[in-house]
Amino acid sequence: MIVYPDFKFRRFTEVDQTFLQTHGLTGLLVDLDNTLVGWHAMDIPNDIADHVASLRKDGIHLCITSNTYNFNRLRSIAGEFGIHFYDGNAGKPGTRGLLAGLAQMGIRPESAAMVGDQLFTDIRAGARAGVKTILVNPLTTRDFIGTKLVSRTLENIVLRGAHSRP
């Protein structure tokens, strides 16, 4: 199943209130690694922390849905942001984490988007869950070696194809 993101941005900070309002989005399911923080990093970039705070102030609901197995780190980072999180491995490209996240936020799929840096997990899971999908560039080039070598190469091929479509 080839899947294309509905929207592409360079960084999560570009997914702003104007964009969300235009598309009727009030809830965001957000990937963790390389979307909100660097891969396996604990430090939240300042501009991302500010952006999350600003979205929350405007009443946007956020829920981290990550395929991590480091649950202590997940809880700690979600606590720092002060946002919902799926407390476990979200199982992307499966939909369990996303559907649970929507339920936690009390948001219907048509009012939500999945934001992430990987086509084959984040965007595919979002499409399956019936939410809008937003692909962002990975925050850092540090990555799980399998992701780097296999998924990124395939993603680039798929995205190049997307660009060349009429």
Q: Footprint of Mg ion on this chain (CB under 5 A)?
A: 31, 33-34, 117
Residue type, 36: L
In degrees and rounded to multiples of 5, residue 114 shows phi and psi of -100, 125
CB of 57 to Mg ion, least distance (A): 25
Closer CB to Mg ion, 17 or 91, in the complex: 91
CB of 118 to Mg ion, least distance (A): 5
Closer CB to Mg ion, 105 or 115, in the complex: 115
Element (H, E) at 156: helix 152-164
Closer CB to Mg ion, 17 or 89, in the complex: 89
CB of 91 to Mg ion, least distance (A): 14
Closest of 160, 133, 9 to residue 65, by C-alpha: 133
CB of 20 to Mg ion, least distance (A): 20
Contact 68, 153 (CB under 8 A): no
Element (H, E) at 9: strand 7-9
Place of tokens 């997940």: 74
Closer CB to Mg ion, 15 or 110, in the complex: 15
Contact 54, 88 (CB under 8 A): no
